[in-house]
Structure 1
Amino acid sequence: MPFNPFSLAGKHILVTGASSGIGRQVAIWLSKQGARVTLAARDIGRLEHTLSMMEGLDHAVETVDFLDGSDISQWMKSVAKASSPFDGLVHAAGVQLPMPIRATSLAHWEKIMSTNVTSGFSLIKAFRQKGVCNTDSSIVLVSSVMAKAGEPALMGYCASKGAVESMVRAAAVELAREGIRVNAIAPGVVQTELVDTLESLVGADSMKAIEQRHPLGFGNPLDVAYAANYLLSPAARWVTGTALVVDGGYLA
């Protein structure tokens, strides 16, 4: 068989936020590419539903809350010890929580930052521990085009995703010597439960206007899964510290 640089056969990948949306589709797609996937989220029922749609065997389900004060480093070390070290991590868990500036409380702001930024830091720190990951491993954080552009009522979300991309750049430089690549994916609007929530807040007319700003229309979670596949694979061996924009032309 010729060498396929995009193959994930035999790779062990941790996917957070795998109970819905982008995280769920990433997990399903990676399983179809031969990866062994550990699914992580808070809702065991929804994780089991994701598992039922995956291909292959030996996948695992882990219920975990990255913000409850538990030791994520110890948890990840125990998961790796019980199965095998990881070759990759996709952190897809996150929140949007639209809110006008005048109505944004400090608690609301801090919830967005904790969920979107602090959780990513905790996972990067845990992943790089000895025995947790293999050499030539890859971390992928899901960012957003909102790291580079603004939208009304999304100041907290925009700020958090900007922080994610800055964190990715710094981690990539520091962890390169440990054989760990760190990148982000910056999607435009993707048809998930988050979009349904946003539409209920801003209305159908506003959502139509947002869609028209995407020359190729809204995306599909699979579009992000394909990008994750690339960044996790040997094909991206010389790619680190970047945010891969997958936005249907929104930023253009």
Structure 2
Amino acid sequence: MVLHNPMVLSDKRILITGASAGIGRACAILLSQLGAKVVINGRHLESLKDTLQQMSGGGHSIAVFDMANTDELCEWFKSLSQAEGYFDGFVHCAGIQVTKPIRLFDQAFFDETMHVNLASAMAITKGFRLKRDRNKQGAIVFVASIAGLIGQTGNTLYGASKAGLMSLTRGLSMELLRDNIRVNCVAPALVDTEMVQRTKNSMTEAQFQHMLDQHPMGMGQPEDVANAVAFLLSDAAKWINAVTLPVEGGYLAN
């Protein structure tokens, strides 16, 4: 008897944005191990080459593009689909995080954060939904943050952008039902990535330790988030839609 594993992704092609490092890189590695054909995106070619070298199997490729170019994103995705083939799903990890208190707020800070973290998600989804085979279920996973569910000093605008991404998940999940596309989201807490190291460098040791102490299970690893992403992309989650899944080591229960 052959057992069916709904987590296997061997018949799927997946795009991962922000795959140069951190959670995006971990997703690329894991999805390749699960058999997916993965196209990795980021702004820096050399970093993407490093990711590619750590991936398993073949048939993967690199697609350099800056997600900040939202007006060009839809056409870019259409061209990418023509070159690579049909995409079954994508993971949107690209984003920015700058710790800045309200006294330093300005229009440029707002525009950049919302543009990169929220507008890019809408623009790439616009491209993904074009010319879909409705007999094949598509899957989108946005990577948000626990900051969208809580309040954090100096992280208010970032949290607002990620809360917007969660709202976008719910809205798009209904709008794209007719296209047979599921839209879900993960909300990681403190994960050991380059972004968190930059946050640590902007704090005192005591401030960062306070943040760490709020995580009963300690700091997460990128692979912990990648596992949740892989589940939401897979057929194991084929009846799960519009969900934001916290991946937070007990943070919300603390």
TM-score by length of 2: 0.96
Identity score, percent: 39
| Whole-angstrom CA distance in 1 between matches of 2:104 and 2:59 | 46
Counterparts in 2 of 1:17 and 1:238: CA distance versus 1, 3 Å: same
Which residue in the other structure is 1:194 paired with? 195
Map 1:1-252 onto structure 2 (within 5 A): 1-68=2-69, 70-131=71-132, 135-252=136-253
| Whole-angstrom CA distance in 2 between matches of 1:175 and 1:250 | 32
Q: Over the residues paired in the alignment, what is the CA RMSD in angstroms?
A: 1.3
The structural deviation recorded for 1:43 is 0.4
1:195-236 superposed Cα distances (whole Å, 9 cap, x missing partner): 111111112211111111011011000000000110000000
Counterparts in 2 of 1:72 and 1:156: CA distance versus 1, 3 Å: same
TM-score by length of 1: 0.97
Contact 1:140–1:184 (CA<8 Å) still a contact in 2? yes
Contact 1:86–1:133 (CA<8 Å) still a contact in 2? no
Query: Is 8-17 or 130-139 further displaced after alignment?
Result: 130-139
Contact 2:71–2:123 (CA<8 Å) still a contact in 1? no
Structure 1 alignment gaps of length 5 or more: none
The 4+ residue runs of structure 1 with deviation greater than 4 A are 131-134
| Whole-angstrom CA distance in 1 between matches of 2:204 and 2:134 | 44
Counterparts in 2 of 1:186 and 1:150: CA distance versus 1, 3 Å: same
Aligned with 2:249: secondary structure? coil
Counterparts in 2 of 1:141 and 1:130: CA distance versus 1, 3 Å: same
| Whole-angstrom CA distance in 1 between matches of 2:69 and 2:129 | 21
The structural deviation recorded for 1:244 is 0.6
Contact 2:70–2:123 (CA<8 Å) still a contact in 1? no
Query: Is 130-139 or 236-245 further displaced after alignment?
Result: 130-139
| Whole-angstrom CA distance in 2 between matches of 1:110 and 1:155 | 14
| Whole-angstrom CA distance in 1 between matches of 2:135 and 2:100 | 41
Q: How many residues align?
A: 252
Aligned with 2:66: secondary structure? coil
| Whole-angstrom CA distance in 2 between matches of 1:20 and 1:170 | 29
| Whole-angstrom CA distance in 2 between matches of 1:205 and 1:10 | 48
Query: Is 179-188 or 202-211 further displaced after alignment?
Result: 202-211
The structural deviation recorded for 1:83 is 2.0
The structural deviation recorded for 1:109 is 1.4
